[in-house]
Amino acid sequence: MKTNISTEFVLLGALLQRPKHGYEILQFLESALGSTWQVSTSQLYVLVKRLEREGLLESTMESQDNRPSKRVFSLTPAGRKTFLEWVHSPTEHVRELRVELLAKLFFFRHFAMKGGTELVDAQIKTLKEIRQGLLKKKDKEQDGFERLVFGIKAMTIDTWLQWLRQEAKPFMRKVHSNE
């Protein structure tokens, strides 16, 4: 499984609590994550088939009265492990934050899982390290355009750090208090 394809992790997450069939996964993602995440109908069926081939999902056919049969997918132990590892890990690249980190925080809230605060802390630590490396490079840089690029990169990181401290962390504490 390619680690940069986060849609697949989201699909695993959709099945964490109970098995679902394809159409049900679509509805779940549409209503719960629709503003952040969009998976097309056709892409979903391709992805679940791939995940099953990779051993992260398994499926059974269920026939229904008055309805077309449906294929119900459930997480295998490997699939569960893969999802849980993903959801607890901070993202390594700033460009992945908007998509990946938000999805992770969503799952922490949705499943009222423990570890959300730790994820936020780990992400803060990771970002601080990226910021350090960036500032070192910026100091050496002479070219005006390159310094401009460093400028927006550093500001972007600072914005995320501020958001993580001021908004994401309180949000995670609220999740915990619901348990």
Partner DNA sequence: GGATTCATGTAAGAGGTTACATGATTAT
Partner DNA sequence: ATAATCATGTAACCTCTTACATGAATCC
Q: Name the residues that contact DNA, by CB under 7 A.
A: 2, 5, 7, 21-24, 27, 38-43, 45-47, 49-50, 64, 66-71
129 touches a second copy by CB under 8 A: no
Quick one: which segment of 19-27, 65-73, 126-134, 163-171 binds a second copy (CB under 8 A)?
A: 163-171
135 binds, among DNA, a second copy, none (CB under 5 to 8 A by kind): none
Paired with 58 in beta bridges are 74
Please say which residue, 42 or 178, places its beta carbon nearer to DNA: 42
27 binds, among a second copy, DNA, none (CB under 5 to 8 A by kind): DNA
Residue (of 78, 172, 74) closest to 123 by Cα position: 172
Secondary structure of the chain in the HEC alphabet?
CCCCCHHHHHHHHHCCCCCEEHHHHHHHHHHHHCCCCCCCHHHHHHHHHHHHHCCCEEEEEEEECCEEEEEEEEECHHHHHHHHHHHHCCCCCHHHHHHHHHHHHHHHHHCCCCCHHHHHHHHHHHHHHHHHHHHHHHHHCCCHHHHHHHHHHHHHHHHHHHHHHHHHHHHHHHHHHCC
Please say which residue, 17 or 38, places its beta carbon nearer to DNA: 38
Please say which residue, 45 or 106, places its beta carbon nearer to a second copy: 106
Please say which residue, 17 or 60, places its beta carbon nearer to DNA: 60
41 binds, among a second copy, DNA, none (CB under 5 to 8 A by kind): DNA
62 touches a second copy by CB under 8 A: no
Binding interface with a second copy (CB under 8 A): 35-36, 95, 98, 102, 105-106, 109-110, 144-146, 148-149, 151-152, 155-156, 158-160, 162-163, 167-168, 171, 174
